[in-house]
Amino acid sequence: MGSSGRFNGSIGIRWFVSWLILVLLGFGSGAAEAVTLVRGPYLQTPTEASIIVRWRTDLTVDTRLAYGQSFDQLDTVISDVQWVNDHEVLIEGLTAATRYYYSIGTSTEVFAGGDPDHWFETAPAGNDRLATQIWVLGDSGTADANSAAVRDGYLISSAGVPSDVWLMLGDNAYFSGTDEEYQAAVFDTYPMVLRHTPLWSTFGNHDALSSDSPTQMGPYYEVFSFPGSGQAGGIASGTEAYYSFDHGNIHFICLDSSDTSLALDGSMMLWLVADLQATTRDWIVAFFHHPPYTKGSHDSDTEARLIEVRENVIPVLENHGVDLVFSGHSHHYERSFLLDGHYGFSDSFDPGSMLLDGGDGRIDGDGPYVKEPGLHRGTVYVVNGTGGNVGGADAGLDHPAMFTSHAVLGSVILEVEGDTLDARFIDTTGTPLDWFTLIKEGLPIFRDGFEYGDTGAWSGVLR
């Protein structure tokens, strides 16, 4: 017994020494494992008084976010002791049109932030007519050199001025919209943009291969946090598949053209009418995946979903004065004239009744498109599906409703200020290949922070 006891004791000593060495080296069960930030931070659903900050860690840990109006004085802290991988923090009680800096981490470690590059801005108050910049990116989910080049073209063209709003037009992650594809196509491709520019998205047909709109399940709905309760302006839709939000004097409407019924008596279309009737913002911009007019890598004369968009959705938008419509899906850039009332096939397009302005819409050309007060005063339609891929250059690109078309990688930057909307399509070098201006008569002219009064008629002079 004694000999056996001495043997067991020596085994115990050797085990203890081995365990202690492992602990000191960081391999023991009692050592804290290193945690890695693998996604984000990224910003969702900004309002006048709130915003959502999200990120992902490789291990489950607790959550801590600190924020303040100076990057070196983050004096407000939000914590959650529950251990998770996907971290989502709602910050409330903020001041409109204000920049805040932030950091993210755990109760014991900061992963990112606390520097000049991690910040967000709340939305302007009410119908504020100060300048707003919007980046619009379609079909960007290739996660390759193409999408990186489009990103870099935007960074060049924006000249270091971050956008206030970022719209993605669907097919954000090829081929099937899996979580791994989202990691590569969104979070690994745009980390420097995501940390300070809020991202809004619509649902594409490739996103739908792994996610389901009726149940709001799958990677797309797990990745994003959108305002289905109307918390960012507009009428509550009850779903994140389609929603609306306000930013200053712009009302944005996101529709699901991929996985939700487009029937006029369906829930989305009934919500759309109510939402359009309720908004009082100066400008209305709608975005969804499937274009009503295209002769690019897809054909709006032959594909059922595109025909249904044109026949059901477009009349509702035009009946309520929508100014600009973005879509993707077709991997070309196509931009229409100022249109109204074209709901049939391309060969039914009647310039005499449907073409409200057949010019180029350019201040340095035929002059901008000018919308008079009232409904059915014209809408511009943009197909912007070249964020990661381009269809064959030999595609038709000859839809009669379009002023110009390009088989070139690129994205769109909008600038809205007071009565004027300027848009430009830029390639991977930041060079504008198309540009146009839309002016709404009856709105105050607002330039450089000063309001000048009503526009009156267009004078032909850049104001």
Closest CA to 87 of 64, 108, 113, 66: 64
Distance CA 380, CA 332 (A): 16
The number of folded domains in the chain is 3
* One domain for residues 186 and 74: no
Q: Is-above-0.75 flag for pTM?
A: yes
Helix (H, G, I), strand (E, B) or coil at 139: coil
Cα-Cα end-to-end distance for the chain: 101
Domain assignment present for 462: no
* One domain for residues 322 and 299: yes
Distance CA 462, CA 191 (A): 37
Domain assignment present for 406: yes
Greatest alpha-carbon span in the chain = 109
Which value, to the nearest 10 degrees, does the dihedral of the CA atoms of residues 357, 363, 364, 367 take?
30
Distance CA 425, CA 432 (A): 5
* One domain for residues 407 and 333: yes
- How high is the pLDDT of residue 33? 80
- Residue 219's φ and ψ, nearest 5 degrees, are -55, -40
Domain assignment present for 459: no
- How high is the pLDDT of residue 27? 41
Beta strands in 69-212 (DSSP E): 76-91, 99-105, 110-113, 119-121, 132-137, 165-168, 199-201
The range of the structural domain enclosing residue 74 comes to 37-121
Q: Which of 102, 121, 140 finishes a domain?
A: 121
CATH classification at residue 227: 3.60.21.10
- How high is the pLDDT of residue 335? 98
Looking at the DSSP assignment, which residues form a beta bridge with residue 201?
168
* One domain for residues 240 and 179: yes
* One domain for residues 197 and 97: no
* One domain for residues 222 and 107: no
- How high is the pLDDT of residue 130? 86
Domain assignment present for 332: yes
Distance CA 369, CA 362 (A): 8
* DSSP-derived secondary structure for 7-67: HHHHHHHHHHHHHHHHHHHT-STTSPPP--EEEEEEEE---SS-EEEEEEEEEEEEEEEEE
Domain assignment present for 376: yes
* One domain for residues 116 and 19: no
- How high is the pLDDT of residue 446? 58
Residue type for position 244 = S
Closest CA to 361 of 389, 339, 387: 339
Count of C-beta atoms within a 10 Å radius of residue 363: 19
* One domain for residues 245 and 222: yes
Residue 219's Cβ-side half-sphere holds a number of Cα atoms within 13 Å equal to: 21
* One domain for residues 247 and 117: no
- How high is the pLDDT of residue 90? 98
Residues with Cβ within 8 Å of residue 40, at least 6 apart in sequence: 53, 54, 55, 56, 104, 187, 191, 194, 195
Residues with Cβ within 8 Å of residue 100, at least 6 apart in sequence: 67, 68, 69, 91, 94, 119, 120, 121, 122
Residues in the chain: 463
* One domain for residues 292 and 422: yes
Distance CA 48, CA 98 (A): 9
Residue type for position 294 = T
Q: Which of 121, 143, 167 finishes a domain?
A: 121
Which residue positions in the chain have pLDDT lower than 70?
Answer: 1-32, 445-463
Domain assignment present for 444: yes
Domain assignment present for 155: yes
* One domain for residues 443 and 359: yes
* One domain for residues 56 and 192: no
Domain assignment present for 212: yes
Q: Which of 65, 94, 121 finishes a domain?
A: 121
